[in-house]
Chain A
Amino acid sequence: MSTGDSTLMRPRLLGRATVNVVVALSVLYTLLPVLWLVLAAGKNRDALFSSNFLSLGDFSFVQNLRDLFAMDDGLYSRWYGNSLLYAVLGAGIGALVSVACGYAFDKFSFPHKEKLFGLVLAAVMVPQTVLALPLYLMASEAGLVNTFWAVFIPVLFNPFGVYLGRIFSQGYVPDEVLEAARVDGAGELTTYVRVALRMLGPGLVTVFLFQLTAIWNNFFLPMVMLSDQDLYPVSLGLYQWNSSASVSPEYYPVVIMGSLLAVIPLILAFALLQRFWRSGLTAGSVK
Chain B
Amino acid sequence: MKRKRVAASGIVDAPLETKSQDKARQEGIASLAGGRLKAYDPGADNVGKFLELLGRRISRPLAVSMTACVHCGMCAESCHYFLARPDDPTMTPVYKADQIRRVFKRHIDWTGRLVPWWVHAESPRTDEDLNRLKNVVFGACSACRRCTLNCPMGVDTALLVRFTRGLLTELGIVPEGVFNVSRDEWETGNQMAVTEEDFLETLQWMKDELQAELGTTAVDIPVDRPDCDVLYTLNPREIKFDPRSIANAAKVFHIAGERWTLPKWGWDQTNFGLFSGDDNLGAYVARNVYEAAVRLRAKKIVISECGHGYRSTRWEGYNWAGYAQNLPTESVVVTLERYLREGRIQVDPARNVLPVTFHDSCNIARSGDLVEEPRRVLRAVCADFREMHPNGRENFCCTGGGGLLSMAEYRPLRLEVAKIKAEQLKATGAKLVCTMCHNCIDGLNDVIKHYGLDMKVVQVLDLVSSALVIPRGDSGEARGPR
Please indicate whether A and B come from the same complex rather than being unrelated chains.
Answer: no
